[in-house]
Amino acid sequence: MPKVKIDGRVVEVEPGTTVLAAAEKAGVRIPRLCVVPGLYEGSSCRVCLVKTPAGRLFPACNYRVYRDEEFVATSPDLWEMRRVNFELLLAFHRIECWQCERKGACSLVSLAKELGVEGIPVCSECPLPPSECLLRRGILCLGMITLAGCEAECVAGGGECWGCRGPITRADVLERAFKRYSELGFDVTSVVSKAEIFWNSLDSFGVVKSVAGRASGGGRG
């Protein structure tokens, strides 16, 4: 049986095993996204790429081992490129966690955490289902425009989000969030003034204000 060495750990596997399965056996965590065994062959998202000693990259989900081989699954450069690649993936996602049913079960969100990519709103961690959203109850919650990472502590504790972790800075996500605020009957200026409490001294607040300005201008026009 072929021996596979991943990040220094050696495991023996059946011939034809994927590197991903071998890594699991070896206790090495490799991020993954697109592969669905039996349904999709993978190799599309490229977040599970591993490196051979010769420096060649292969997707762990798709590369099958037939002889003794060695791979690097975690190295700073690999991690950095995975991160850039994942940011690209995220760049074309709408990130409307506030109306998404997946919430905690979302592999994009968990991958973002794993790779240290920011830009996901607190809503992704909110314990309330979209139907019980605080905003629907008339409570001005800043979850839609605040960076996740706090496990939505305030909402879990019965309050609303005050934005302590700082704002989302992607303009298109902010635009959609402000659109949602107005749909739910919140005035843009009231959102901005609530945000001022934590964000007033932040450079990134400028982006929020300019999007908000456009949103309210567009609303009046």
Partner 1 sequence: MTWTLLDRCCDRCTHSVENPCKDYVECRLNGPLCHEDERCRELRRRRLEELAYGEKGAKIKVPMASCTLAMGSEAVYNAVLEAVEKLGVEATVTISGCYGMDFIDPWVEFSAKGMPTAIYARVRPADVPKLIESYFIKRDVSGAFALKERTGGALGEEKVPLLSELDFWRKQYKWVSRNCGVVNPESLEEYVASGGYRGLSKALKVGPERVIDEIQKSGLRGRGGAGFPTGLKWKLARQQPATPKYVIANADEGDPGAFMNRLLAESDPFRIVEGLTIAGYAVGASQGFIFVRAEKPMMAKRLRRAVEEARKYGLLGRNILGSGFDFDIEVILSAGAFVCGEETAMIAAIEGKRAWPRQRPPYPAEKGLWGKPTIVNNVETLAHAATIMAEGAEKFAAVGTERTKGTKMFCVTGNVKRVGAYEVPIGVSVRYLVEELAGGPPDGSKIKAVQIGGPSGGCIPAALLDLPIDYETLQGAGAIMGSGGIVVMTEDTCMVDAAKFFLTFTSAESCGKCVPCRVGLRTMWNILDKITRGEGTEEDLHTLRQMAETVRSFSLCALGGTAPNPVLSTLRHFVDEYMAHIRDKVCPAMVCRALIAYRIDEERCIACGQCAMNCPVSAISRVESGKYRIDKEKCISCGICFAVCPVKVITKVPRGSLGGGHA
Contacts with partner 1 by CB under 8 A lie at 41, 43-46, 49, 57-59, 62-64, 81, 84-85, 88-89, 91-92
Q: Degrees (nearest 5) of the Cα angle 33, 61, 125?
A: 20
Nearer to partner 1, 27 or 53 (CB): 53
Q: Which residues fall within 8 angstroms of residue 79, CB to CB, at 6 or more apart?
A: 115
Q: How far is the CB of 4 from partner 1 (least distance, A)?
A: 15
CA distance readout (Å), 172 to 92, 123, 175, 207, 214: 10, 16, 5, 11, 12
CB of 59 to partner 1, least distance (A): 6
Return d(Cα 57, Cα 37) in angstroms, integer: 21
The answer for residues whose C-beta is within 8 angstroms of residue 91's C-beta and 6 or more apart is: none
Min. distance of Cβ 64 from partner 1 in angstroms? Answer: 8
Distance CA 171, CA 159 (A): 27
The one-letter code for the residue type at 88 is: L
CB of residue 84 to partner 1, shortest distance in Å:
4
Distance from C-alpha of 52 to C-alpha of 70, rounded to nearest angstrom: 6
- Give the other-Cβ count within 10 Å of 208's Cβ: 25
Q: How far is the CB of 24 from partner 1 (least distance, A)?
A: 19
Q: What minimum distance in Å lies between the beta carbon of 47 and partner 1?
A: 8
